[in-house]
Amino acid sequence: MKFRTEVDIKKSEKKIEIEDKIFSIGSCFASEMTDLLQQGQLQTLNNPFGTIFNPFSIRNEVKILHDSLFYEEEDLITYNEEYISLDHHTSFDTRYIHQTLDKINGAIEEGNAFLQETDWIIITYGTSFIYEFIPKKKLVANCHKIPQKFFEKKLLSHQELTHSIYNTILDLKDICKEDVQILFTVSPVRHTKDGMIENQLSKSKLITAIHESISVFEDCHYLPVYEILMDDLRDYRFYKEDMIHPSTQAVNYIFDKFGEAYFSEDTKDFIKENFKITKALEHKTSDKKDPKFIEFREKLDQRIENQRTKVKHKIFSND
């Protein structure tokens, strides 16, 4: 007897190999998945503009990365004694214009180079809502805690969504390898500040637009991340205390589902061992000269060396 409806991710014919590069972009859920890929010691790059939620802004970001367009002073505004870009997350804000521009343009340069070599792209959309910055009549990716009176909120139309997604795909296919695989997901994080009905409308529009946009591309796929949390894990025990974000257990469950569908057997084994090593590295001692601890570290270092022989890129470089 079954007591839940399990949602599976369709197994991919093409698999993620140990040396593959994975580029991810989008919501905070994209960052959580990338963190697990990094713990597994795969080559990743996540969100060169910081956390971004809507398809219009993500399309704008990909266009800038594709063209390698650098930001200049006139592209920034000042607020609360900081220089900021409304296309970027607040993590790029600084008190000095050259520092903000250096952070922004350095990330663009890194993102452009990584995209040219990447094998996989994961795009996670969070919302169909977007804000217009009234003083500049500009659609923005982040409001940077500027007072609400300076913004006008709008719901992107179906045409605006599909246009953004379709052109994102075209730019990525132009700059990336010929056989790059693009995976689309909708974040399971609920935007409750929009309102529960509005959040559901927003997510539904995203899902519809993605399916319509990717239907003409063989190398674009939809991952049912949103559906896994909404239907498979439909219980508040799989959420954090805010009842909005998925718990660590839920994120790990979705990651395992993703791995079963997309990782090669070698990649599964590689990541599994690296997770164990990462956990072991958390072990601390007050006496580093303790013979038992020395033996523990020697065995652990040997396991790390064994893993290093399997790849050309650097792994566990901080240990």
Name the β-bridge partners of 60: none
Let me know the angle formed at the C-alpha of 165 by 163 and 169, rounded to the nearest 5 degrees: 115
Q: Tell me: domain 21-264, CATH 3.40.50.360, correct?
A: no
Cα separation, 224 vs 74, in Å, equals 40
How far, CA to CA in Å, does 213 sit from each of 9, 198, 219, 222, 223? Answer: 19, 22, 12, 11, 14
114 phi and psi angles, rounded to 5 deg: -65, -40
User: CB neighbours (10 Å) of residue 24?
Assistant: 22
pLDDT of res. 319: 63
pLDDT of res. 3: 75
**pLDDT tens column, 220-231:** 999 999 999 999
Q: Which residue in this structure is represented by tokens 């063989």?
A: 218
pTM of the model: 0.95
Name residues of the chain where pLDDT drops below 70.
Answer: 319
